[in-house]
A and B are shown apart, each in its own frame.
Chain A
């Protein structure tokens, strides 16, 4: 019986190392490993080999001139495109005429595009404000993309001790505070510090099944959301929340005296906003005390 279990465990060890087992199987393997020194040793060997392989591959020195060469090629390609873009105007007329000939409907649509209409709800002022919000929000969204989407931090789980160590004494108090404000089913799976494009972040991942929400904090460094913005700003317990969306990502941002904070996820707009509203007063209160 024990031998059978060992065989089964060894077959699952590779997926266990990669955190790719189903939760139930994962627990079975974990339980067996606690009582079986041989399988436990096999696990250690796999973990060691994986780390060694990564270290060895990353020891390769990357040629610095190659990066410059690639940059130069892209810029050259880009300038060719720009030259293409400055084709004479008669070519546009030919292309437009071709479109008109191809589609009868086209006539109506092109006429519509060419005429400004009162139906438009977009004003230049709105655009400027939303551009300002978007440029600040991008900072938080980029960190979510970097950690969760590019480096799969939504698949990792850190212990409270690991989180405290990675976040440092200044921010580690946020974890127990936020735990009391989490929506049902969610838990904090990651709390760490990260760096994207030279900016430092404190980043927490809230998980519920396969849903991941990032709570991201960074120092303002001279940036802030537009004051008295009538675009995408809502007050929750005295904290102004700004909303934005980038492709499939929903983001809510708010600020304290010295910090910017973001709640970013791929959840539905309403859901992400609810989570942000629940957390914002607590996070904002914590940051104001720092």
Chain B
């Protein structure tokens, strides 16, 4: 017997829309989004436990094919994605530097995540998935509104900063550190935020920013040096660190 009727929260006749896929189901189940429902089609009934665990219910099971379906629920998205809201906002504001802009970008990132939530594989890293979407949104937005000259600094310009290691005083406030971070070029700042603040692995940072692993390592190493130097500059301007001390390293 089939198992229709267990789950009825669907548009009537929905299953007749499932495309015929006799040759595509030999390896992995197929996933579709249709009218606010996720549909899974698999050849083996062994997928039953897996789909049920993911919140789906069996729509039809016949001819060796199992069709599961699930309504895309806002509650599930909210409980999976919204716990990372604070981290996303704090990252966005440090990248773009403007509160209103950061709010718009985070909102846009969440909206995009919601629209593609059916593609998110439960059991994989939701936090990393959201950050990837956020940085996609940020980069798209920045490319649209700013010329690349404004956000990138050439290697030569940075060399001066990297020639010495100034001492870093300990009695700085959060505001001082954030003021110094603002002066770190965006490419380096992004890697610092993902690796040092969000504690993503190098591999996850590379995937989030879509840059090679080697670039992550070099940007992180240089980014930290730039930040140390900017922190020392801030301290110097505040009178916390005497000019003589900064100069000693040179």
Contacts and interface: CB of A to CB of B under 8 A. Distances in A.
Whether chain B is bound by chain A comes out as yes
Interface of A: 14-15, 18, 20, 45-46, 48-50, 52-60, 62-63, 66-67, 69-71, 73-75, 77-78, 81-82, 84-87, 89, 92, 95-96, 99, 103, 105-106, 108-110, 112-124, 126-128, 130-131, 133-134, 137-138, 141, 145, 149-152, 155, 197, 232, 243-249
B78 A71 contact: yes
Nearest to B89: A62
B103 A63 contact: yes
Interface of B: 1-6, 11-22, 35-37, 45, 48-50, 52-54, 57-58, 60-67, 72, 74, 77-79, 82, 85-86, 89-91, 93-94, 99, 103, 106-107, 110-111, 114-115, 121-128, 168, 170, 172, 174-175, 177-178, 181, 192-193, 195-197, 199-202, 217, 220-221, 224, 227-228, 231
16 contacts: A14-B220, A52-B177, A53-B192, A57-B197, A67-B85, A70-B107, A74-B114, A81-B72, A89-B12, A113-B15, A119-B63, A121-B61, A123-B3, A244-B49, A244-B53, A247-B122
Contacts of A66: 85, 89, 103, 106-107
Nearest to A249: B123
A197 B64 CA distance: 38
B155 to A, nearest CB: 18
Interface centre among A55, A115, A120 (most CB of B within 10 A): A120
Contacts of A75: 74
A55 B90 CA distance: 11
Q: Classify the interface of chain A: helix, strand, loop or mixed.
A: helix
A153 to B, nearest CB: 11
B50 A246 contact: yes
B20 A99 contact: yes
Given A54-B197, A244-B49, A89 B13 contact: yes
B57 A49 contact: no
Contacts of A126: 48
Nearest to A141: B123
Contact of A85 (B15, B35, B53, B123): B35
Nearest to A89: B13
A59 B174 contact: yes
Q: Classify the interface of chain B: helix, strand, loop or mixed.
A: helix
A60 B182 CA distance: 14
B62 A92 contact: no
Contact of B54 (A14, A115, A246): A246
B195 A247 contact: no
Contacts of B49: 130, 133-134, 232, 243-245
A196 to B, nearest CB: 9
A122 B114 contact: no
Nearest to A85: B35
A274 B122 CA distance: 24
Interface centre among B3, B93, B193 (most CB of A within 10 A): B3
A3 B239 CA distance: 34
Contacts of A116: 1-2, 4, 60, 62
A76 B201 CA distance: 35
A71 B82 contact: yes
Given A92-B13, A127-B57, A246 B66 contact: no
B16 A105 contact: no
Contacts of B14: 92
A75 B107 CA distance: 13
Nearest to B4: A116
B93 A60 contact: yes
A14 B221 contact: yes
A120 B2 contact: yes
Given A18-B220, A120-B3, 4 more contacts: A15-B217, A70-B110, A145-B125, A247-B121
